[in-house]
Amino acid sequence: MAIGRQAYLAKLERLFRSYNKIVIVGVDNVGSTQIHECRKALRGEAEMILGKNSLVKRTINLLGEEFPALLALLPIVRFNVGFVFTNGDIIKVAETLMANKREAPAKPGQLSPIDVTIPAGPTAMLPADTGFLQALNISTKIAKGKIEITSDVHLLTAGQTVGSSECALLAKMDIKPFFYGLEVLNVYDNGSLFDSGFLSVTDETLAGLVQEGIAGVASLALGCNFPALPAAPHMVAGGIKDMLAVGIELDLDMPELAALKAFLADPSAFAVAAPAAAAEAVVEEESEEEESEEDSDLMGGLF
């Protein structure tokens, strides 16, 4: 049931005051039944409101002095948008919204959101439709009293305006190529505004970015010979290598140089010893695995 202007403004103000997280969604090509289903799926976790952008902007301006961060929402309050308010897990709310999609037929004049290709193969169309397909430059043949398309047909490209011929063909083949639902445009979280890409950031993504940053700091510190913490292990290792090189050059008698001197004196001995050491390591691993299996069998017998 529609609510009055003042009641709508009061509701908007209550929502902006009560919640610190907002998902801004696009509602193009989304029907009222689908909106109702989204509200039902969000019940207890979030509240959705749709309405006139002018009233939303008015409410934001009225609250702007008390909540300055809300003013960042003004530029995105345009076209067909809605607001989903929550204090819970904003990613979970966004996933609920994006999961509620419905297939829809193509309509003349709309922009195709995706590429549409009709695969080669048999159809349910009768031979009488052969002329229609030939007019669209689609090669066909008759098989078992039905039309069969002989090769894939790239019918629409993303962003292309859908024509009446494309709509007629898709309707004849009972193909509904598009899926429409609420589209997450932006996320407002405790005073910060992000685009929808924020939702794809995971703990693994953040860890990777931190590791890249540390590696960059280490490289810069090494290049500048500055003792930064990320570069310390590399600097220490480099210093040890330099000291060993000096010791070898001066032929110093140090225990730390004994193995290195032996290697330099007879490298072939270490080349022969390396496979034997690797084989010993494999034997040790196999022995440990056998012991582990025996332990598992014993535990299985006990329990």
Q: What is the pLDDT of residues 288-300, one digit of tens each?
A: 555 555 454 444 4
Report pLDDT for 287.
57
Residue 109, domain member (yes or no): no
Q: Quick one: pLDDT at residue 70?
A: 92
Q: Is the pLDDT of residue 83 over 70?
A: yes
Does 64 share its domain with 126? no
Distances in Å between the Cα of 161 and the Cα atoms of 26, 158, 182, 256, 295 are: 20, 9, 21, 76, 68
Residues 271 and 232 in one domain: yes
203/190 Cα distance (integer angstroms):
20
Residue pair 123/175 in contact (Cβ under 8 Å)? The answer is no
Rounded to whole angstroms, how far apart are CA atoms 105 and 99? 19
End-to-end Cα separation, the chain, in angstroms = 63
Same domain, 92 and 18: yes
- Count other Cβ atoms within 10 Å, centred on residue 59: 21
At 303, the pLDDT band (50, 70, 90 cuts) reads: very low
Question: What DSSP string runs through 245-288?
Answer: HHHHHHT---GGGHHHHHHHH-HHHHHHHHHHHHHHHHHHHHHH
pLDDT at 296: 47
Spatial strand order of the sheet with 21-26 comes to 47-50, 81-86, 21-26, 183-189, 192-195
| Beta-strand relationship, 183-189 and 153-156 | unpaired
Residues 39, 86: one domain? yes
For 122-168, the pLDDT digits (tens) are 888 888 888 888 888 888 899 888 999 999 999 999 889 999 888 98
Q: Band the pLDDT of 277: cuts 50, 70, 90.
A: low
Within a domain: 108: no
Query: Which two structure tokens, joined as six digits, stand for 213?
Result: 């940053």
- Give yes or no: residues 223 and 194 share one domain: no
Given pLDDT bands bounded at 50, 70 and 90, which one contains residue 42?
very high
Q: What is the mean pLDDT of residues 264-275?
A: 66
**Could you tell me if 57 and 124 are in contact, meaning their C-beta atoms sit under 8 angstroms apart?**
no
Q: How many CB atoms lie within 10 A of CB 240?
A: 11
- Residues 162, 195 within the same domain: no
Average pLDDT over residues 49-71: 91
Name the least confident of 33-42, 247-256, 270-279. 270-279
Element (H, E) at 236: helix 232-250
| Domain count along the chain | 3
The answer on 54 and 191 residing in a single domain is yes
What is the predicted pLDDT for the residue at 15? 94
Q: Could you tell me the pLDDT band of residue 2, with boundaries at 50, 70 and 90?
A: low
| Cα 139–Cα 145–Cα 148 angle in degrees, nearest 5 | 25
pLDDT in tens, 5-35: 899 999 999 999 999 999 999 988 888 888 8
Alpha-carbon gap, residue 275 to 254, rounded angstroms: 28
Sequence-separated (6 or more) residues with CB below 8 Å from residue 55? 5, 8, 9, 12
Residues 169 and 193 in one domain: no
Q: Mean of the pLDDT values across residues 223-249?
A: 79
**Residues of the domain holding 191:** 5-100+182-199
Task: Check: CB of residue 58 under 8 Å from CB of residue 8.
Answer: no
pLDDT greater than 60 at residue 301: no
Give SS3 for 69: helix
Rg (CA), the chain: 34
Based on the number of CB atoms within 10 Å of its own CB, is 247 exposed (0-12), middle (13-18) or buried (19 or more)? middle
Express each pLDDT in 172-217 by its tens digit. Answer: 888 888 888 888 899 999 888 988 776 666 677 668 778 888 888 8
Please indicate, yes or no, if residue 303 is contained in any of the structural domains. Answer: no
- pLDDT (0 to 100) of residue 1: 46
**pLDDT averaged over the chain?**
82
Average pLDDT over residues 39-48: 92
More confident residue, 272 or 42: 42
